[in-house]
Amino acid sequence: MSTSRIASALLPGLGHVMAGRGFTGVALLLSWLTLLAVAALGWPRIAAIGETGSLDDWIAVVALVLTLALVWGWAQWSLRRQQAGGTIGESQWRIAGRRLRRDPLALIGIAVIALLYLVAVLAPLIAPYDPIAQENIVETSYLAPSLSHPLGTDQFGRDVLSRMIYGARISLAIALIAVAIAISLGTLIGAIAGYLGGWVDAALMRFTDMVLAFPRLVLLIMIVALFSSSLTLIILVLGLTQWPATARLVRGEVLSLREREFIQAANALGMSRRRIVLRHLIPNVLAPVIVAATLGIGNTIVLEAGLSFLGLGLQPPTPSWGNLVSDGRQNLIGAWWVATFPGLAIVVSVLAFNLVGDGLRDALDPRLRS
Amino acid sequence: MAAFALRRLLGAIPLLLGIATIIFFVLNLAPGDPASLYFNPNVPPEVIEQVRRNLGLDQPVHVRYVRWLGAFFTGDWGQSFAQGRPVADILMEALPNTLILTGTALVLVFLFGIIAGVWQAVRQHSWSDRTLSIGALFFYSMPSFWLGLMLMLVFSLKAHEWGWPIALPPTGITSVEYEFMGAGEKIQDRIAHLILPVATLTLVLSAGIARYTRGQMLEVIRQDYIRTARAKGLPERRVILKHALRNSLLPVITLLGLYLPFLFSGAVFVEVIFSWPGMGRIIVDSIMQRDYPLVMATSFVFAVMVVLGNLVADLLYAIVDPRIGYET
């Protein structure tokens, strides 16, 4: 055991710095210290969790412990791997990962996304106030940003920062799950249409065209407004109206892959169609799909916020970023902070996903490989 | 060419029929009775029954579907439940407003997007290229409703408060005293009202065009014929504008069709924020009020505009690119 390995075990990141990997080391150190600071700040709630903890608190504490373990574990693993020497042969993913690490904008994006999800999961430990509780409205309504309320308060005297922190949970979770649904469905439909061809292809693609031609926002508003809005409905509707773009993308890729030798070989070996589609075609179209998914999460965050803004998202007092901007619209001139900061949160998170999406596209593009 | 256009037009008919069908069935699956809008709880049930019969709501779904489809495609779009006026009249008032808004924005989106994209490609890796790239990504990531609010906050509400020389009107399409203005003032007033909504749409949407145009230009500039053009001593300006730009713009045209849904979605938010009396506001209001005839007609008109836009983009593409055959 080298000294850097021992140092790393005591304080993740220190070992990397000693081993000459300054950037990774400092990043690890910073995230480790941030996590410890969160634990220290939220200590009263963590200590009292046995008596008063709600489900939210439990989730937050478990997530905190898991993240700490993850950071620590990764630090040890990456240091040992470095000392064991390089690896033999490189997969497509490892090459892409290496290229991604040289893209500063993408790295910033990844860091911001990690931070946002951490904030969302750890919300009860971080938020300075209860996001829903209203105090004495006469005294606390529309307070300008100050030390006690860094981003001010809204009409009902609720802390805007705390509501934003809780809002991150809603906005980020909805986008992630909806895109997961859309991507799986779109990949499957696109792969089937592209591989089978013929009337199956024609029928599926006509249907896809029809959904694409329909103004998505109108369809969303229609469904959410006419059926009573709920978390499940919003996720399903966002997911089920987004697959056509992915389906088209995947179909195009599959059409060109289908003619390649390895698919012919799979056919010649007598593999079932199911196996060829699932094991040979889909893994090979995954790269562009991942890029589309990353960019799609950004779009979905904006769309969900838009629905909430129109009053069609989760109903108040549940905080979501769109709801918060909509709240701020009522007194825009008197209390500009209520609409401004939650909107900035949307911009920052969408920007982060777009940066990572751009970075991934460059990293995964074999034509740019030197 | 005419045959190609006609074939494309005919191909759009089943698409529109499908869209109308989707609209009809989504509305029919929705819980809630449109007839209930007419009544307060004191109305006796037999009167409600009578109204349901008059509205044709007692018929089974497939009968209503066929009837509705027949009426819809013969131009009978019915009466708005909430406003008690023919749907066609309401749409006719709103459509020009939306077309002015989206039309102006569309022209500016492509103009600014293309100029920015070409500028960046010509000066790749320069300071201005990086700034524009990050700026484009920033606006690309921005929800239109938030940008609209911020623009309104700064250039209208706060500008007024801070005593800036120009404070733009925050909402509406004309001022209250519009009727008493002279012709020149009227035009000025309309333009002043148009600036913020159009700026919102333009900033959000031109970012995407700029990113795409930049990518296309960079691909084209690497081609051999550009090197040839430079080698034979053409001025750089001519190489870029005549040789490179023309070929880069081909795929940008296809974006026109792709961008219409974004434009109309953006218009919905912009119209709501700036109280712009157009189709976007009508669709939001009518859905909230369960004004079914108006919902059906408005969403259908939106879909028609998207389909037509795609058609125009296809035709334009076939005209400007000689490699595209008319047979397909």
Kindly report the pTM of this predicted structure. 0.84
Helix (H/G/I), strand (E/B), else coil: B269: helix
| Strand spans (E) along chain B | none
| Weakest mean pLDDT among A151-160, A207-216, A314-323, B30-39 | B30-39
Cα–Cα distance measured from residue B187 to residue B178, given in angstroms and rounded to the nearest whole number: 10
Q: Please, where are the H alpha helices in chain A?
A: 3-10, 14-18, 22-41, 43-47, 49-52, 55-83, 92-101, 104-121, 123-126, 137-140, 160-196, 198-213, 216-226, 231-240, 243-257, 261-268, 273-275, 282-309, 321-329, 336-364
pLDDT computed for residue B201 by the predictor: 94
- Rounded to a whole number, what is the distance in Å from the CA of B290 to chain A's nearest CA? 7
Residues A273, A350 within the same domain: yes
pLDDT computed for residue B328 by the predictor: 47
Residues facing residue A159 across a β-bridge: A153
Range of the domain at A81: 3-86
Core vs surface per residue A27-36: b (16+ CB within 10 A) or e: ebbebbeebe
Examine residue A30 and state whether it is found in any structural domain, yes or no: yes
pLDDT tens, position by position, A273-298: 888 888 888 888 888 888 889 989 99
Cα–Cα distance measured from residue B99 to residue B173, given in angstroms and rounded to the nearest whole number: 13
CB contact under 8 A, A346 and B288: no
CB contact under 8 A, B145 and A221: no
A14-34 mean pLDDT = 81
Which residues, numbered 269 to 288 in chain B, qualify as contacts with chain A under a Cβ-Cβ cut-off of 8 Å? 269, 272-273, 283-284, 287-288
Examine residue A177 and state whether it is found in any structural domain, yes or no: yes
- Rounded to a whole number, what is the distance in Å from the CA of B64 to chain A's nearest CA? 19
Residues A278, A172 within the same domain: yes
Residue type, B118: V
Dihedral angle, C-alpha A77, A83, A84, A85, nearest 10 ° = 120
Q: Using beta carbons and an 8 Å cutoff, which residues of A are at the interface with B?
A: 206, 209-210, 213-219, 221-223, 225-228, 298, 302, 305-306, 309-310, 325, 328-329, 332-333, 336, 339-340, 343, 346-347, 350-351, 354-355, 358
Core vs surface per residue A254-275: b (16+ CB within 10 A) or e: beebbeeeebeebeeeeeeeee
- The rounded mean pLDDT for chain A is 83
pLDDT computed for residue A316 by the predictor: 75
**Among residues A66, A86, A106, which one ends one of the domains?**
A86
Examine residue A12 and state whether it is found in any structural domain, yes or no: yes
Q: Is the pLDDT of residue B320 over 80?
A: no
Q: Is the pLDDT of residue B293 over 50?
A: yes
* Closest residue in chain A to residue B135, using alpha carbons only: A351
Most confident of B55-64, B80-89, B121-130: B121-130
Q: Using an 8 Å Cβ cutoff, are A329 and B149 in contact? A: yes
Q: Is the pLDDT of residue A83 over 80?
A: no
pLDDT computed for residue B271 by the predictor: 93
Burial class (CB in 10 A: 0-12, 13-18, 19+), A182: buried
Examine residue A96 and state whether it is found in any structural domain, yes or no: no
pLDDT computed for residue A117 by the predictor: 87
Task: Give residue B202's pLDDT band: very low, low, confident or very high (50, 70, 90).
Answer: very high
Examine residue A222 and state whether it is found in any structural domain, yes or no: yes
Most confident of A150-154, B142-146, B302-306: B142-146
Residues A195, A343 within the same domain: yes
Between the CA of residue B259 and those of B1, B201, B281, what are the distances in Å?
A: 25, 12, 20
pLDDT computed for residue A86 by the predictor: 55
| Weakest mean pLDDT among A145-149, B282-286, B292-296 | A145-149
Residues A37, A153 within the same domain: no
Residues A172, A67 within the same domain: no
Mutate to test the interface with B, among A211, A212, A217 (most CBs of B within 10 A): A217
Residues A258, A184 within the same domain: yes
Core vs surface per residue B285-307: b (16+ CB within 10 A) or e: bbbbbbbbbbbbbbbbbbbbbbb
pLDDT tens, position by position, B27-45: 777 766 666 655 566 777 7
B144-162 mean pLDDT = 88
Examine residue A159 and state whether it is found in any structural domain, yes or no: yes
Residues A177, A296 within the same domain: yes
Mutate to test the interface with B, among A108, A212, A214, A325 (most CBs of B within 10 A): A214
Helix (H/G/I), strand (E/B), else coil: B83: coil
Task: Give residue A370's pLDDT band: very low, low, confident or very high (50, 70, 90).
Answer: very low
pLDDT computed for residue B47 by the predictor: 77
CB contact under 8 A, A222 and B310: no
pLDDT tens, position by position, A85-143: 655 556 667 777 778 888 888 889 998 998 898 888 887 787 777 777 777 777 777 77
Examine residue A187 and state whether it is found in any structural domain, yes or no: yes
Structurally, how many domains does chain A consist of? 2
**Among residues A52, A71, A86, which one ends one of the domains?**
A86
Residues A212, A289 within the same domain: yes
Residues A78, A173 within the same domain: no
A325: domain CATH number is 1.10.3720.10
Residues A158, A45 within the same domain: no
Examine residue A113 and state whether it is found in any structural domain, yes or no: no
Residues from chain B that touch A309, judged by Cβ atoms under 8 A, are 143, 145, 269
CB contact under 8 A, B149 and A329: yes
Residues A237, A340 within the same domain: yes
Residues A81, A164 within the same domain: no
